[in-house]
Amino acid sequence: MRHIRDQFGDFVFARVAGPDGPSRRERIHGTPGPRWFPPGSPVARVHGDASMFVGGIRAVVLQTLHPVAMQAVSEHSGFRGDLWGRLARTSEFLAVTTFGPVDQAESAVALVRRIHEHVRGTTPDGTPYVASDPHLLAWVHAAEIDSFLVAHQAYGDRPLDPDEQDEYVAQAGLVAARLGVVEPPRDVASLRGVLEAYRPELRSTPAAREAVHDVLWNPALPAAARPGYAMLRTAAVGLLPEWSREPLGLANRPWLDRTVARGLGHVSTGVVRWALTSGHAKARELTRDRAAA
């Protein structure tokens, strides 16, 4: 059974972290040096939990509702042909900035900032955009952090208490500020306020509907992995705000969200958590060895 678990865990980890995932884990967790966040802090608990699989899907879907952000993703991101490569890069950034030494975290932030400066274009109405625009960065950050937190509170191994939730938002905001977000939210109330303030700008577009279709219904996965992904997908959709469903062509079914989706979410995140046991143990071992050294 352990062999089956580890094989499945390796498959899941490779999908999320890419083929170089094990070596990246060694570098991130095993390299000596100070970190931005201590072990066991709210941001480490959230970003290291299996609930991130649900939160990540929710974040991608929710972010598509900003037409300018979606235009930038559609024209410059590899979500069509390289969805899993993009996911691996995102997961590496989160891992480095949450768990990695300061010099690696700073290098990762600097790289993303350089990339954002080159992501430029024009919307269909002729308005120019650049990915480094603090207003666009603030939307992406708020949608992402809200998704991670909502998923953790629903499916995390140890949900955060109210003070820890505020601390998580503040810790995530430290990284967002380094990326160029101006005055990122520092607690849950201000996070929800930011999301509400963006509502008048949000709408569905053909690019958004195409992205949502690819992410939810047509993932590049082998047939054997699709049932598990369908469970994670159902859980993620069940956590989306009601106001986001209709624009994205998703049914609003509160009863199913509270029952079927919630049950599938607990089962799927539990299986992922079980599968990644060896990988998490390896990360803890590297952390202990680093501290001992």
Question: Could you write out the three-class secondary structure of the chain?
Answer: CHHHHHHHHHHHHHHHHCCCHHHHHHHHHHCCCCECCCCCCHHHHHHCCCCHHHHHHHHHHHHCCCHHHHHHHHHHCCCCCCHHHHHHHHHHHHHHHHHCEHHHHHHHHHHHHHHHHHCEEECCCCCEEECCCHHHHHHHHHHHHHHHHHHHHHHCCCCCCHHHHHHHHHHHHHHHHHHCCCCCCCCHHHHHHHHHHHHHHCCCCHHHHHHHHHHHHCCCCCHHHHHHHHHHHHHHHHCCCHHHHHHHCCCCCHHHHHHHHHHHHHHHHHHHHHHCHHHHHHHHHHHHHHHHC
Q: Which is higher by pLDDT, 132 or 71? A: 132
Q: Identify whether the C-beta of residue 169 lies closer than 8 Å to the C-beta of residue 192.
A: no
Q: Identify whether the C-beta of residue 158 lies closer than 8 Å to the C-beta of residue 45.
A: yes
183-231: pLDDT as tens digits: 999 999 999 999 999 999 999 888 888 888 888 988 877 787 788 889 9
Q: Is the pLDDT of residue 135 over 90?
A: yes
Q: How far is CA 91 from the centre of its chain?
A: 7
- C-alpha to C-alpha distance for 67 and 203, rounded to whole angstroms: 7
- C-alpha to C-alpha distance for 46 and 149, rounded to whole angstroms: 7
Instruction: Place 151 in a pLDDT band, splitting at 50, 70 and 90.
Output: very high
The pLDDT, as a whole number, for residue 99 is 95
Query: The whole model's pTM is what?
Result: 0.89
Max avg pLDDT among 75-89, 143-157, 198-212? 143-157
The pLDDT, as a whole number, for residue 286 is 57
